Each structure stands twice: as structure tokens, then as C-alpha cells.
Amino acid sequence: MVDVLIGISILLPFLAAILCFLTGNPRGRAAIIVTTGILLTLSSLLLFQNLHGPYLYTPESILGLNVNSLITFADFALLFIILGIAFKLGNPLVILLTLLQIVPLAYFELKMAPHVEVTPAFYLDSLAVIMNLIISIVGSLICIFGIRYMEEHEHHLHLKKSRQPRFFFFLVLFLGAMNGLVFSNNLLWLYFFWEVTTFCSFMLIGHDKTEIAIRNATKALWMNMTGGVAFVAAIIFIYYNTQSMEYLSLQTLINHGPGLTTALLLPFALLCFAGFTKAAQVPFQSWLCGAMVAPTPVSALLHSSTMVKAGVYLVVRMAPGYQGTFLSTMVATFGAFTFLTASALAVNMSNGKKILAYSTIANLGLIIACAGINTPAAIIAAVLLIIFHAISKGLLFLCVGTIEHAIGSRDIEDMRGLYNTMPAVSRITIVGILTMMLPPFGALMSKWMAIESAAHIPWVVVMVALGSGLTVLFWARWAGLFVSGPHLKVFESEENEGFFAPIVTIFKGFYAKSKWKDPASIKVPLVTLAVAAIVLSLGVPWLYTSLVDPVLASYKPGLFIKPFETGPLGLTSGVGAFYVLPIFLVSIIGYLAAVIAAKRKDHRVFSAPYMCGEQYPDISQPKFRSHLNSWKDYVAANIYMQEFLGEDKISYWINSIALIILIVLFGEVLR
């Protein structure tokens, strides 16, 4: 049964991707995407239900072909395709980085390594199942969202010929590659799926074929190829120092971690470096920010369930292997530094997608910091962050994409008062924001766990605490803009159907007389993710017991003292508690109080800022009385301090410090 589910999780998206590419009929393609999403979701749920403890599996053949040989052939074919693209782009750096993978890998396969298969090829445990659930459910919802979104996107671009077959080929293929990646135990197989995700991201970021899209896609390619070079180097170093293919089994490598020598610590450092590039950690963050030029489904998929999650997955997976080493401390420091600096950069942004990009980089940094802290409590925090970040961030990207299509802007200042014109989507967006910053939601609880587990590394505690404060600042500012009165007269409001309008709309039926005009392919992903963010936070004790707690069995076999205990109210530890249900009740009371207060508010459709009595008589006009009794225009907005802390002002210094941390990390490992 599990063997079949593994095959469905990996091969079905590959097959569906080919069908999407070959199908010219939009309805037929939509049916393929929806069916694939449903089957992947069911497969992931069945896998969760049927997996009891680690499961080892090595497929022997597909259609009579040896799988190991097939993977090797596909790996080199992919690298040569990338090399051809690099020559077409005329980019010497991409050419060099591709050759630095092809040549050593060919030498390894043909000269160094004996033709012995690494077994097991796949290793499934609770962490792999969690990742599979995220990829299959959140990823499928994003693909379904893309059906209608891409129609509108191409309508805005006035394309004569649709590129959707190509787009959905890579989007759906991404899901299969990610499932293969998180299941793989054979490092050579893992490397293949790793490079497939790199290639898919390049093709999707450059989908619109504009100059900036191609430039940013190329940047994403070379930065991730840097990680690919490190990955190949790690494989070769492992074999060179052990003279055994056995250590190319990731679990074997991890299990020998407690007795690490410098010879094996270096491959761990190289694999962590590959994870850093994939997770867009500083100084590699620019590729993920540049990816914002891609259509929203791409951004959502990269940030929530694929690509960047591959990076943090690898670092967290290997954590038991480098526990108690200098590498572990430096990984924690590097992750915490990324969390702090990316949060600081997000504070200075008004572009909604860039805020989401930097907050993603920050949260991935926090996950990596937890892996470096490397205690049972920290690993639990990392896993919970992976879950809640995937749901909330996927939701927020889809919301911003929907809003951008409606108002033609992704600037959060243009979203001021949007609650009046797009109440349903605004409410869902606010839900997504609140689940990222406030109790009792899972993201904040994970940060509480991270800070508590970092107590023995003071500088990490300081950076995580400061970064957490900055995240509250930019999230609260954004949520406040939605519910603020607009400074200027806005479009005619939709009828207000109450706070639970999005959920009510689902039960009324998508074709009932609802004021929420978006089609089902937009509504279902938004509502599902919003409900999941709330329900999973409310059900944290169950989530911890059924999904997260079993991860410790792989991380620390024989661990009898659990870092957290579950109860009817929430989670407790030796030094604190996070009572979910009482906080939920207080939040509901606070919400009801706010609703009562809101009923007494001034119901004007806009609210001009106070100008000391010198406003223009028609306050819908942004003017004030200036010198010589003249009228001057003004712009009312939040302060972003771009002139002091802008991206172009501090990125150089942030990247320089990050490089120093990496140099120290490798310097100490090589010492």
C-alpha cells in the first residue's frame, strides 16, 4: 500500500504535467489539474494514516527500466539541458557552475564509485509525511488557484497564444519533484530531484519572458546552481573519505553523526550550504525577491510548499548528524541573523509581495536557527513553523495576487480601506496576517518554542526576540491598512455579508447570489487555507501528538522526556506554557467587543488625514493650504525609512556579515 502511495505522490504529477503540456483545451487542462490535486491530497492522507514508523523502500524498475540507471540518465540529461540554456543566455557564470557539476559527477559515476545501488532509495518517516502533506495539499490548492488566475493574467498581457500548457507543466511537475526530494534517502536521487526544482523555478520565474523576468530567473538559476555544486562536492567528499557507497544513504550518514570526523563534517557543511541557497538565506536572498516578477501561483508555490521548503527540510533532516558540533552553533547563528535582518528589510517595504518575500526568508531563517539550536524542543519548533508558515504564507500570496488583479497594484498603501470594497478577500487576508503574528496561532507559538529552546545561546535569543518584534510591526501595519478609512473616495462598496462571509459563501454554494464574485477556483483555495490556519492552531495538541511528536522518534531514538506536554488547554513545558483554548476565547471576546465598537463608528466612505484645519474644502481632494494661500497636494502614507534603512542602503552590509559567518563556518570545519 505504502509503495503505491509513494509512486502516486511522485509519478502522478510527472504524468499530469505531461498531459497539461499536451492538452490545448483549457477545460481539459483544468480537469487534469483538479483531479491530480484531489488524488495527491487523498494519497498524502492515506500515507499519513498507513505509515507507522520509518518505512524503507527501493523501487527496482519502471516499465522494465532500472530506476537507478534511469535517474542517472535523467540527471545528466537535465544538466545538459541547463548547459544549453546557459549558452543560449550567454551567461558565463551559469555555464561554469553547470560544468562544475557535470564534470565531477561524470568522474564520480564513471571512475570513482562502484556500480552499487544505495539502499534504501526512499526513507519515509514522520518528517517526510509532514512535508508530503504540505506539498500535496497546499501545493495542489495553489495549482487549482492558478487555473483562473492565469486566464486573467494572460488577458492582462494581451497574449496572442496562451503559454498556460507550458506554465502548468512546470507548476505540476514541481509537486512530483518535491515529493521525490523529501522521500529520497539516496543522496544521488535526492540531488536529481533537487536540480529538477531548480530548473522548474527558473522556467516559472521567467515565464512572462520580459527582460526583468529573464534576468531574475537567471539570477535564481545561478544562485541555486551554486548550491548544486556544493551538493555534488559533498557527495564526492563522502565517498572519497569513506570509500563506501553506504554513506551516500542520508540516514546512514546522519546515524554516524555523533562520531563525526572532519572528513564527514565538511560534507554536512556543504549540504547545509546547499540548503541555505535553496532557502534564499542571506546573502542569497535576492533570487527569491526577484522571483516576485513571476505570476502569483509561482510565488505562492515557491514560498509555501516547494523550493525554499526543500532547503530547510534538508538542514532540519540532517540536524541529528551534526548535533553538538561547532557547525550546529554556526547554523543557529546564521539562521537567527537571517531572521533578524530579513525582518528588518521587510519593515521598510510597501510592496506587498516583497514584504511576503522577506518575511518568508526571515521565517526560513528561524527554522534553520532551530535546526542549529538542535534540541528536541527546537526541532519541534522548526517542524511546527514549517507547517504553519506553509499554510499562512500560501494563503497570503494568493490573497495578494487576487487583490493585485482587482486593483492593479501590490502596494499595501493602495490597500488602505480595501475592507470596504473587497470585504471577503480582505477578511481572509487579515486572517492570514493575524495567524502569522498573534496568539494563539501556531506561528507565534513556534516562535515561543524557538526562543525557549535557544536559552543556551544568548546571541541567538537576542536576534530571534528582536526579529519577532519587527515581524509584529510590519504585519500589524499591513492589517491596519485594510481596516483603516481610505483617505480618498473609493469605489462603491460591496454589500457587507458579515465576518464569516467567505465561509458562508462556501455553504451557500458558489453560484448562489453572493457578493463575492470570484470563481470557485479562487474561493476554494483561499477559504480552505484560511480555515486550515485557524483549525490547526486550535488543534495544536492533536497536531503535536499525531504529527510532530513522532518526528522526535527519528531525531532522538529512546527519548523519554518530552520537551512539551499536551493538555486540553494547550502545550506546557518545564518553564512555561502556551494555552491555546483560553487565548482563543479571549480573542473571540475581543473580536465581539470590536464589532460592537465598530457599529458606533462614523460611516463615511473615506477619512482625510488631519491637516491642522488647513484642508481643502473638498476633503476628498488631497490638498492643503500652503504659503501665499496656495493649495498644495499631499501624500498620506506610512513611514518606511527607505532613505536610511532601504534595501539598497543596508543589503550590502547584511550580505557582507552573512558571508563572514559562512567563511567562519567553513574555516572552523576545515581547521
**What are the beta bridge partners of residue 124?**
55
Give the model's pLDDT for residue 495. 43
With contact defined as beta carbons under 8 Å apart, do 321 and 254 qualify?
Answer: yes
437 against 258, higher pLDDT: 437
Give the H/E segment covering residue 623: strand 623-625
pLDDT in tens, 174-225: 999 999 999 999 999 999 999 999 999 999 999 998 999 999 999 999 999 9
Most confident residue range from 106-115, 157-166, 439-448, 527-536: 527-536
pLDDT in tens, 450-503: 888 888 899 999 999 999 999 999 999 988 888 776 655 444 444 444 444 444
Least reliable range by pLDDT among 13-17, 383-387, 445-449, 622-626: 622-626
- Percentage of the chain beyond pLDDT 70 is 90
Give the model's pLDDT for residue 441. 85
Residue 506 predicted with pLDDT over 60: no
Average pLDDT of 642-663?
88
What is the spatial distance between Cα 554 and Cα 317, in angstroms, rounded to a whole number?
A: 9
**What are the beta bridge partners of residue 577?**
572
Average pLDDT of 85-100?
95
570 against 432, higher pLDDT: 432
What is the spatial distance between Cα 646 and Cα 358, in angstroms, rounded to a whole number?
A: 13
For the stretch 487-490, contacts whose Cβ atoms lie closer than 8 Å and that sit 24 or more positions apart, written own/partner, are 487/416, 487/606, 487/607, 487/608, 487/609, 487/622, 487/636, 488/606, 488/620, 488/622, 489/605, 489/606, 489/620, 490/417, 490/420, 490/421, 490/605, 490/606
pLDDT in tens, 326-383: 999 999 999 999 999 999 999 988 889 999 999 999 999 999 999 999 988 899 999 9
Least reliable range by pLDDT among 9-18, 149-158, 637-646: 637-646
3-class state of residue 427 by DSSP: helix
| CA nearest to 564, candidates 553, 580, 575 | 575
Give the model's pLDDT for residue 496. 47
**What are the beta bridge partners of residue 633?**
623
DSSP 415: G
User: Count of residues for the chain?
Assistant: 671
At a CB cut-off of 8 Å and minimum separation 6, what does 244 contact?
none
| Bond before 440 cis per omega within 30 degrees | yes
Question: CA-based Rg of the chain, rounded to a whole angstrom?
Answer: 25
Grid coordinates given for 152: 486573467
What is the spatial distance between Cα 539 and Cα 535, in angstroms, rounded to a whole number?
A: 6
SS3 content of the chain, % helix, strand, coil (to 5): 70, 5, 25
Task: State the pLDDT confidence band at 85, using cuts at 50, 70 and 90.
Answer: very high
At a CB cut-off of 8 Å and minimum separation 6, what does 411 contact?
350, 351, 352
Give the model's pLDDT for residue 558. 61
Give the model's pLDDT for residue 630. 78
- Percentage of the chain beyond pLDDT 90 is 49
| DSSP class per residue in 498-562 | -TTHHHHHHHH-TTSS-S--S-HHHHHHHHHHHHHHHHHHHTHHHHIIIIITTHHHHHSTT--S-
Residue 601 predicted with pLDDT over 70: no
Give the H/E segment covering residue 624: strand 623-625
604 against 187, higher pLDDT: 187
pLDDT in tens, 236-250: 999 988 888 888 999
| CA nearest to 539, candidates 389, 384, 643, 425 | 384
At a CB cut-off of 8 Å and minimum separation 6, what does 262 contact?
669, 670, 671
Task: State the pLDDT confidence band at 123, using cuts at 50, 70 and 90.
Answer: very high
What is the spatial distance between Cα 588 and Cα 581, in angstroms, rounded to a whole number?
A: 11
pLDDT in tens, 517-546: 778 888 899 999 999 999 888 888 888 888
| CA nearest to 30, candidates 145, 162, 179, 192 | 145
Angle at 143 (CA atoms; ends 134, 440), nearest 5 degrees: 40
pLDDT in tens, 511-520: 334 466 778 8
DSSP 319: G
Average pLDDT of 306-315?
91
Task: State the pLDDT confidence band at 96, using cuts at 50, 70 and 90.
Answer: very high
270 against 643, higher pLDDT: 270
Which residue in this structure is represented by grid cell 561547532?
326
Residue 136 predicted with pLDDT over 50: yes
Residue 629 predicted with pLDDT over 80: no
